[in-house]
Structure 1
Amino acid sequence: MKFIKTILFYSFLLSFIACKQSTIKKDFVLKGFVFGTSYKITYLNADENYKKSLDSLFLLVNNSVSTYIETSDISQINQGNTNISVDEIFSEVFKKSKKIHKETDGFFDPTVGNLVNAYGFGPKDEKINLTDIQILEQMQFVGLDKIKLIDNKIVKEYPEVYLDFNSIAKGFGIDVVARFFNDKNIANYLIEIGGEIRAKGTKKNDEPWIIKLVNPVDVENGFKVINLSDKSMATSGNYRKFRISEDGKKYVHTINPKTGFATESNLLSVSVIGAVDCADVDAYATAFMAMGLEKTKEFLKNNNELKVILIYLNKNGDLEEYTTYK
């Protein structure tokens, strides 16, 4: 009897220890590649490594709105398939795009896809040196008002209209991860994909999530330090992603949806910071690059919940910074 009691005691003790071990919280840093770029995701005080779960979520986003995957919903829609019933991911990205398209007076417009491809910045890599007439011909297929979402199906005014959500989908992918963490009651995390970021809570010791933004205007100091706790941030710029044609003409990846041109303005870089979804700041950053410096300043007067850091060339060709971030 004494032997049995001893066995039961040790069995109970081992079960208690195993239970205690399973509830030990850990901090995780996940790294990898997605959406054609790298990611780094840090989350604290969690039960387990969620990499497999996050990979599954990334796959869902890609299968819905990636133009780089031929079998995705958006690719099939662009190929002319009118029978695709879009999922919740596509629907939300589309509705959010409509909202920001309206707010920015059309400067955010995912229907510039044909021009993005033609200039050599899309999945088709066409690299055509478009004439003014060819641009004008393509502009009749640009305009988010030419597309509607009816009963979970995309209805186009013209079949040639090409959707490209790449200027909002990366930020949306970050939001998907944030929602997953929120559902798991993870209070502290930093999600970065390709330079776009969303943070919640604090680091260890209750320190805020801080990022260092390269400051090309003040090279000696080198960085601008930004507190991103409970905020999202996205940066868009033309100083790195551009191409030079054989005749020496420079094309930048930000297409002006009002003109169809891919020419560089004096606004070189836009960083948008706000206590909103990362998809939102991602889209606003693209819109502001198309707007240019003065129109962006005007927009911000009525939308001061968004903070910006704008890098531009002044009349003398020198770099200057305009910021509402304090």
Structure 2
Amino acid sequence: MAWYISPLVFLFLIFRSYNGSNDFLKIQMSGSAQGTTWHITYYAKDSIVRKIQVDSILTRIDSSLSIYKPFSLISRFNASKKGIAIDEHFAAVVSKSIEAWQQSEGLFDITVQPLVQAWGFSAKPVKKYPDSAKVHALLQCIGTDKIKLEGNRLIKTKSCITIDVDGIAQGYSVDVVADFLEQQHITDYIVEIGGEIRVKGRKKPGGEKMSIGIEAPGDYGFEAPVIQKIITINEGAVTTSGNYRKFHESNGEKFSHTIDTRTGYPTRNNLISVTVFAKDAITADAYDNVLMTMGLEKALIFTEQREDLAAYFIYKTPGGAIADTASSRFYGLFVRGEEKGEK
């Protein structure tokens, strides 16, 4: 499977090593899944959770939500005319997607797949980008209001509806793995899949908060980072959406993989990336896409109006420089001395 994430912000984990014996072991494991890598660190008195268990969880999610597997449930739904019976993973992601669609006034929309394919951001490259007539035609098959959950069935009201949950499924996967750790009575951990992170508890034996670094490259095509921040959290999730690595270029102009389903065209605004903090990764993952589509000014207003979200933004100024800012609640996460951003 290839769930491509597009962080022009790279999230990396920061752990301070320690010496001396104690009752807790620091257990680390990693692997590959969903077209990316995953890493887990947890503290326990024994290796309660093993890599084979995590791989099994991610494989089951893949079989439900991967559009790159022809026999997955989502592929079967997309090929159907009216809908199919779905499992608990599919239902959870669709339910959250409908909620995000409603609360974002349609900016988050999993029925975007026809547009994603048309603009060349799916597995198949395109030779020609769609013209206005093609975009208008595709918009007739777009809209979360054209799907509905009825018990264990996902129904489409138009046969041309197809969905793509890449903008939320990786966050959901992080939550499923984190919830599994908690079911095994692990209370201090950090789970990361493709840069999407969920944290709970503290490091052992010192009791320090978990640290997460946010690094931004200087500009499209440049390697040197120009902004670096560190945040610390006791519990919650951090995800990033951005346009640095996943964009196309036509006639010398770059355009984003983030599609505005209201217009059918790639998003054009001053945002380079958005990093979101929320109580769980599925929420953070959904709204980092929403905020990217809004643009900086509207995204800041939207975030400040919600107590369940905090966000950090990297953007281009009118003069072409790269700057950063954050919502008021996100500033509280910064390590001392890194609170100031440009506004």
- Give me the TM-score of the superposition, normalised by structure 1: 0.87
Structure 1 residues 221, 239: CA separation in 2 closer, same or farther (over 3 Å shift)? closer
Of 260, 277, 281, which aligns to 2:264? 260
Aligned to 2:179: 179
Q: Note if contact 1:201-1:208 (Cα within 8 Å) is conserved in structure 2.
A: yes
> C-alpha distance in 1, partners of 2:31/2:294?
33
Counterpart of 1:213 in structure 2 is: 214
Whether the aligned pair in 2 keeps the contact of 1:101 and 1:107 (CA below 8 Å) is yes
**Contact 1:82 1:153 (8 Å CA) reproduced:** no
Q: Say if 1:312 and 1:319, in contact at 8 Å, map to a contact too.
A: yes
CA contact (8 A) 1:314 1:320 kept: yes
Letter in 1 for 2:285: D
Counterpart Cα distance in 2 of 1:291 and 1:71 = 35
Counterpart in the other structure of 1:223:
228
Tell me if structure 2 keeps the 8 A contact 1:25–1:47.
Answer: no
Name the structure 2 match of 1:8.
Answer: none
2:235 is equivalent to residue 238 of structure 1: no
**Larger relative contact order (CA 8 Å, sep ≥ 6):** 2
Per-residue CA deviation, residues 200-258 of structure 1 (Å, 9 max, x unaligned), is: 001121111101111458x898520111320100100012211224x444332100111
Distance 1:32 1:277 in 2: 22
What residue in structure 1 maps to residue 42 of structure 2? 43
**Residues 187 and 65 of structure 1: is their aligned pair in 2 closer, same or farther, counting only changes over 3 Å?**
same
- C-alpha distance 271-127 of structure 1, shift in aligned 2 (>3 A): farther
Shift of 1:320: 1.7
Rg larger in structure: 1
On the 8 A contact 1:40/1:192 being kept in 2, the answer is yes
Kept in 1, the 8 Å contact 2:141–2:161? The answer is yes
Q: Stretches of 4+ moved more than 6 A in 1?
A: none
Residues 278, 94 of structure 1: CA spacing in aligned structure 2 closer, same or farther, 3 A cutoff?
Answer: same
Aligned-partner SS, 1:44: strand
More helix by share: 1
How far 1:162 sits from its partner (Å)?
A: 1.1
Q: How many residue pairs end up in the alignment?
A: 301
Residue in structure 2 matched with residue 120 of structure 1 by the alignment: 120
Distance, in Å, in 2 between the alignment partners of 1:54 and 1:121 is 29
Superposed CA offset, 1:88-112 (max 9, x none): 1111111011111111111111111
Q: Which residue of 1 aligns with 2:60?
A: 60
Aligned partners of 2:227, 2:142: CA distance in 1, in Å? 40
- 1:277 lines up with 2:280 in the alignment: yes
Distance 2:225 2:130 in 1: 41
Q: After TM superposition, give the deviation of residue 82 of structure 1 in Å.
A: 4.5
- Determine whether 1:291 maps to 2:290: no
Letter of the 1:233 counterpart: V
Q: Separation in 2 of the partners of 1:211 and 1:305? A: 19
Aligned-partner Cα distance in 2 for 1:29–1:239: 29
Call closer, same or farther: CA 1:143–1:127 in 2, change over 3 Å: farther
Instruction: Determine helix, strand or coil for the equivalent of 2:108.
Output: coil
Between the two proteins, what is the percent identity of the paired residues? Answer: 36
Q: Which aligned pairs between 1:75-86 and structure 2 lie closer than 5 A?
A: 75-80=75-80, 82=82, 84-86=84-86
| Bigger fraction of residues in strand | 2
1:117, 1:127 within 8 Å by CA — same for their partners in 2?
no
Shift of 1:149: 1.3
State how far apart, in whole Å, the 1-side matches of 2:254 and 2:228 are. Answer: 29
Compute the TM-score of the two structures, normalised by the length of structure 2.
Answer: 0.83
Report SS of the residue matched to 1:113: helix
Structure 2 CA distance for aligned equivalents of residues 75 and 277 of structure 1: 26
Q: Give the equivalent residue in structure 2 for 1:18.
A: none
Gaps of 5+ in 2: 1-22, 219-223, 332-343
- C-alpha displacement of 1:124: 3.4
1:49 CA displacement = 4.3
Distance 1:304-1:321 versus aligned 2 partners, 3 A rule: farther
Amino acid at match of 1:193: I
Please list the CA deviations of residues 138-196 of structure 1 after superposition, one character each: whole Å capped at 9, or x if unmatched: 11111101111113222112111111000000000000001101100001110111111
Pairing 1:190–2:190 present: yes
3-state SS of the aligned residue for 2:260? coil
Q: Shift of residue 119 of structure 1?
A: 1.2
